[in-house]
Amino acid sequence: MNMKIDTDRVKQKKFTSAITSSEQKYSQEYRVLAVLRYLYPEKFSTMVKRDSPDLQDDANGIGIEVVSAVKDSDMRATRAFSEVCQAENEIDEKSRKRIETSGYSIIPILGDRNFICTTGTAEGEKTVFQKAIRKKLKNIDRYKVNFKQIGLAVVLPEIPTSYAEAHFSEWLFEVIYENEVSFDFVYILSYRFSILIDVKNKGFTKREISSEVSLALSKIARMTAEGDLSLTDQEWL
């Protein structure tokens, strides 16, 4: 079954404040789960959020770790943008300055809605991307004891450069070749696409995500992290 992302409960939900720091991590993990369930419902319908690894499917023996390819400046920009979104997208000068001094620019989409886009260099994107992968490879041995397959979901900060998008696979395998053990598969998730890399077979599959769908999935993820939804609700099924 496909997720029901356009229910009245989702459409009518209005957030009145920025998400708390303690719930932000959970919201990110639920967003990864939401994207996977939406794009690949038959494959991930029994996967749930847990810890160590972050997402688990006991029935099929699959675990997925979630990590952000994010710098401190990215976190500041994302936090500022989250605050902007709570004010019906009325971007005050203080928030705009915080976003732009973090190396981002604000771009309009969907009429009165906005996204932020990095103005950083591709080399910087490579460094942060590879650092995130190395961080999660440290724990892979203990995960493989309990799961048949261990994957990684790398969450990108907003919209990557086109150069980075074209070289993610190359950057991934540079890190993979440094280690004796590796993830079985890696998902690279942006607000506008999902890239699946089959590490063993060196396969590469890309799925586009529309802005409308991405926004709905992000809303469902946050609502779940904050307790307004559960994985048994129709939005997830």
State the pLDDT at residue 97.
73
CB–CB of 226/23 below 8 Å?
yes
Q: Are strands 149-155 and 62-68 parallel, antiparallel or unpaired?
A: parallel
pTM of the predicted protein model: 0.83
In a 13 Å sphere around the CA of 22, the CA atoms on its Cβ side amount to 1
CB–CB of 213/221 below 8 Å?
no
Q: How far is CA 146 from CA 87, 140, 150, in A?
A: 45, 11, 9
Residue owning tokens 């942060």 = 128
Per-residue pLDDT tens, the chain, 237 aa: give them: 689 999 999 999 998 887 887 898 999 999 999 999 999 999 999 999 999 999 999 999 999 999 999 765 555 555 556 555 554 445 567 767 766 776 666 656 444 556 555 555 566 889 999 999 999 998 899 999 999 999 999 999 768 888 999 999 999 999 999 988 899 999 999 989 999 999 989 999 999 999 999 999 999 999 999 999 999 999 999
- Cis omega (within 30 of 0) for bond into 53: yes
Where are the chain's structural domains? 8-232
In a 13 Å sphere around the CA of 90, the CA atoms on its Cβ side amount to 2
- Write the CB contacts of 132 (distance below 8 Å, at least 6 apart in sequence): 67, 68, 69, 70, 154
CA distance 63 to 150: 5
**Buried/exposed code over 199-212 (b: 16+ C-beta within 10 A; e: otherwise):** beeeeeeeeebeee
Which residues are bridge partners to 117 per DSSP?
A: 105, 159
